[in-house]
Amino acid sequence: MKIAIALKTVVALLVLGALAAYPCLAAPAQNINSAQVKTLLAKEKKIVILDVRTPEEFRQARLHGAVLIPLGELERRMPEIPRDRPLLVYCSVGARSATAAGLLAARGYREVYQMSDGLVGWYKNGFPIER
């Protein structure tokens, strides 16, 4: 009986180790549109809003409270991003944010949302932006 319990423990540890070692097994980022993002932001007050566009794009328009980390800097600056809070990643139309969200999820960030229609979709829906 003790051997069976020990074996189950070893197997469980191996599975957890495999999940940690292989990022492709991590939970994927959730793709949501700008209307869903608006609802999410209204209810989730601790969410980190991550803009992965260029500094020039960020200066022109952004979501209120967004933090700029351009996609090309994301891997290097990942330690700046809290792991204990949900993340919303966006760009202009969803391409760069999809890449960024996938990378964050692969690196173990657990609750990652990606705005699939980007800031363009947000603006087209008449939602507020900062300039």
User: Residue 26: what pLDDT?
Assistant: 60
User: Residue 27: what pLDDT?
Assistant: 79
Question: Residue 34: in which H helix or E strand, if any?
Answer: helix 34-43
Which domains, from first to last, does the chain contain? 24-124 (3.40.250.10)
Q: Which of 14, 43, 41, 47 is nearest to 127 (CA)?
A: 41
Q: Which of 120, 113, 68, 66 is nearest to 89 (CA)?
A: 113
Would the CA dihedral through 67, 104, 90, 86 be positive or negative? negative
pTM over 0.75: yes
Q: Give the pLDDT confidence of 25-81 residue by residue, as tens digits.
A: 567 999 999 999 999 999 999 999 999 999 999 999 999 999 999 999 999 999 999
Q: Give the pLDDT confidence of 72-122 residue by residue, as tens digits.
A: 999 999 999 999 999 999 999 999 999 999 999 999 999 999 999 999 999
User: Residue 79: what pLDDT?
Assistant: 97
Based on the residue annotation, tell me whether 91 is a catalytic residue of this protein: yes
| Active-site option among 26, 91, 101, 119 | 91
